[in-house]
Amino acid sequence: MAILDVHNLTTQIPTARGNLTVVDDVSFSVEQGECFGLVGESGSGKSMTVKSILGLVPAPGRVTAGSVHHGGHDLTKLPGPAMAAIRGRTIATIVQDAVSALNPVYRIGRQIAEPMLEHGLVRSRAEGRSRAIALMAKVGIPAPEKRVDDYPHQFSGGMCQRVVIATALSCDPGLILADEPTTALDVTIQDQILKLLVSLQHDLGLSLLLVTHDMGVVAQTCQRVAVMYAGQIVELVRTEDLFRKPRHPYTAGLLNCVPRLDGPARRLTPIPGAPPDLAAPPSGCRFHPRCPLAIDLCRSGTPALSEVAPGHFSRCIRQDALTADLWETADA
């Protein structure tokens, strides 16, 4: 049963240079209890997709097509108050910069309890406070009874992220949208937070939509993953299959240009060029100017996301020509 069903979601932002299609016909679903990864580089549209799901696309941008089904409703069609009732309640969000996600003038306990009070899950401040202490313990903050009355500046970056996670959990959401939750953290703290998210997901049966640029994070946490490029999903498949046999040249290129901690030290082959300008994207396949497999059909056609192997979707029409050493033989 899918807890989130996104169909043909399209978001556009009008600018002086033209209409930017930052989310282009994106479709995927997050199953109950699953951790689904949305991975891509800057400008790929992954953060905008999350904002579009939440109805928080900054003006003048807006969702122009598609639907987002959750709990029997289409979120793109919901009016403001109904959407606000869902945010924080059945869908919670964890953002990248935890320290600025917290209001510096309010105590931690109050901020964790605020969604509960807002959505009517607790009736008094005292009840909110005690539930906040329980949540802080759950996310691994030591001595929560003492720290519940602290202010955000008294917490480190990793602790602030735990507080944000506790706030997200406060209303027992079914789905958590995590937008690069560990990017701003040190490696050892990132490791702690990721392991925490995975264990919470198991214990509470949560579904998690994890947005990241780090392939390692995806490998360690997600069951299925969608790779985004220039606003489109270019590949969607189970995580093991993505790493074992990617079926899109961009994915293969990404995997190939990430330096490894294990294995023999070999020369990385970078993907030449840069992501396209969304105001004037390349014709046909968005990736073709940088792709070693590009042919004329790639430039003229409009490749669709199709199932090229059981449960494995790719937007590349030449994916069967994709070999393991594609990028190693291509000229850097």
Partner 1 sequence: MPEPLLQVRNLSKHYGSNRSLISRLSGAPAPRLIAVDDVSFTIGQGEIFSLVGESGSGKTTLGRTILRLIEPTSGSIIYDGTDITALDKTRLRLARRQIQMIFQDPFSSLNPRLTVRQMLGEVLHVHGIRPPEQIDSRIAELLSLVGLAPDSIDRTPRHFSGGQRQRIGIARALAVEPRFIVADEPVSAVDVSVQSQIMNLLLDLRDRLGLTLLFIAHDLSVVRYLSDRVGVMYLGRIVEIGTRDRIFAAPRHPYTQALLRAAPRPDPAHRGTEAALGGEPPSPLDPPKGCHFHTRCPRATALCRNIAPPPETVAPDHIVRCHHHDPAFA
Partner 2 sequence: MSDAALPVPAMDRGPRPPAHNWRRHSGLITGASILAVILLGSIFAGWISPYGPLEQNLRNTLQTPSWTHPFGTDNFGRDIFSRVLHAAKLDLMIGFLCVFFPWMLGIALGGIAGYFGGIADTIIMRIVDTFSAFPFLIMVIGIIAILGPGLTSLYIALTLAGWSMYARIVRAEVLVVRQSEYVLAARALGFGHLRIMFRHILPNVITPTIIFAMTDIVLVILSTTSLSFLGLGVQPPAAEWGIMISEGKGFILTAWWMVTLPGIAIVIVGLALSLFGDGVAKWLRERG
Q: Which residues bind partner 2 (CB under 8 A)?
A: 13, 15-17, 20, 22, 40-48, 51, 96, 179-180, 183, 213, 274-280
Task: Please identify, using beta-carbon distances, which residue of 23 and 148 lies nearer to partner 2.
Answer: 23
Site string for partner 1, 33-62 (x = CB under 8 A): --------xx--------------------
Residues 184-203 that bind partner 1 (CB under 8 A): 186-192, 194-196, 198-199
Output the DSSP codes for 104-116: TTS-HHHHHHHHH
C-alpha 285/C-alpha 298 separation (Å) is 6
- For residue 65, the minimal CB distance to partner 1 (Å) is 28
- Which one among 49, 76, 111, 239 touches partner 1, defined by CB under 8 A? 239
User: Residue 226 pairs with which residues in a beta bridge?
Assistant: 38, 236
- Total residues found in the chain within this entry: 332
| Count of residues engaged in binding partner 1, rule: CB under 8 A | 48
- Torsional sign, CA 72, 73, 74, 76: negative
C-alpha 207/C-alpha 4 separation (Å) is 9
Q: Map residue 288 onto helix, strand or coil.
A: helix
- For residue 242, the minimal CB distance to partner 1 (Å) is 8
- For residue 109, the minimal CB distance to partner 2 (Å) is 29
- Which one among 35, 169, 215, 293 touches partner 1, defined by CB under 8 A? 215
Task: Please identify, using beta-carbon distances, which residue of 40 and 140 lies nearer to partner 2.
Answer: 40
- Which one among 115, 158, 173, 303 touches partner 1, defined by CB under 8 A? 158
C-alpha 7/C-alpha 299 separation (Å) is 25
- Torsional sign, CA 140, 142, 148, 149: negative
Instruction: Determine, following the binding rule CB under 8 A, whether residue 325 of this chain makes contact with partner 1.
Output: no
- For residue 275, the minimal CB distance to partner 2 (Å) is 7
The residue written with tokens 């790493």 in the block is: 243
Identify whether the C-beta of residue 136 lies closer than 8 Å to the C-beta of residue 144.
Answer: yes
- For residue 125, the minimal CB distance to partner 1 (Å) is 29
- For residue 217, the minimal CB distance to partner 1 (Å) is 5
CA dist 222 → 31, 82, 105, 194 (Å): 12, 30, 36, 11
Residue in 311, 155, 190, 179 with CA at minimum distance from that of residue 240: 311
| 269 DSSP 8-state letter | -
- Which one among 78, 214, 245, 308 touches partner 1, defined by CB under 8 A? 214
Site string for partner 1, 247-276 (x = CB under 8 A): ------xxx-xxxxxx--x-xxxxxx-xx-
- For residue 165, the minimal CB distance to partner 1 (Å) is 14
97 φ, ψ to 5°? -95, 95
CA dist 253 → 227, 260, 324 (Å): 12, 14, 10
Task: Please identify, using beta-carbon distances, which residue of 125 and 146 lies nearer to partner 1.
Answer: 146
Binding site for partner 1 (CB under 8 A): 41-42, 156, 158-159, 186-192, 194-196, 198-199, 213-221, 239-240, 243, 253-255, 257-262, 265, 267-272, 274-275, 332
